[in-house]
Amino acid sequence: MKKVEDYVRSIPDFPEPGIIFRDVTTILQDPDGLHLAIDKILDSLKDADFDVVVGPESRGFIFGVPVAYAMHKGFVPVRKKGKLPCETVSMEYDLEYGSAVIEMHKDSIKPGQKVVIVDDLIATGGTTEAIIKLIEQLGGQVVKICFVMELAGLKGREKLAGYEVESVITYEGN
């Protein structure tokens, strides 16, 4: 039986020499790969007590919505600045080269709600750290964070210390 990592395409020397790019699109393109990835996330949440799934655009939507649907939970999108139509809260965070701003609707998380974050990849952890800050600013409690892939060499888990983090696949390098 195939594992999720069997569906990941590895591209050497992209975006620069010495880097191996782990391409999640090959999981998405294969019905068995996509099904397996979603099932693995669902398995990791089978004992979790939570109210809502939060996912950042765009691949957090791809993996988070089917998880929310299967577990009969709501889904809250996290978007780039200026993409949400109602009143928002925002958080700036650092990227490898520069910074970015993400937003959530101000009324998307209710005080006391238990939240699971779902995304495709954890690298440095900056995006997820910003999402946690937004959720907590709105009064939510992050109970678990699930990723399809983790690049352990970039030490993103260190930024998420104190939170339960689970990855379907872990690559030791970066």
The model carries a pTM of 0.95
Q: 88-97: b or e for each residue (b if 16 or more CB lie within 10 Å)?
A: bbbbebeeee
* Annotated catalytic residue within 5, 57, 59, 129: 59
Mean pLDDT of the 164-168 span: 98
Whether the pLDDT of residue 18 is over 90: the answer is: no
Whether the pLDDT of residue 164 is over 90: the answer is: yes
Mean pLDDT of the 103-115 span: 98
Span 38-51, pLDDT tens digits: 999 999 999 999 99
Whether the pLDDT of residue 94 is over 90: the answer is: no
Q: Phi first, then psi: what are they for 163, rounded to 5°?
A: -115, 150
Tell me, yes or no, if 164 is annotated catalytic.
no
* Cα 120 versus chain centre, distance: 5
- pLDDT, residue 110, reads 97
Q: How many CA atoms lie within 13 A of 36 on its CB side?
A: 19
Tell me, yes or no, if 59 is annotated catalytic.
yes
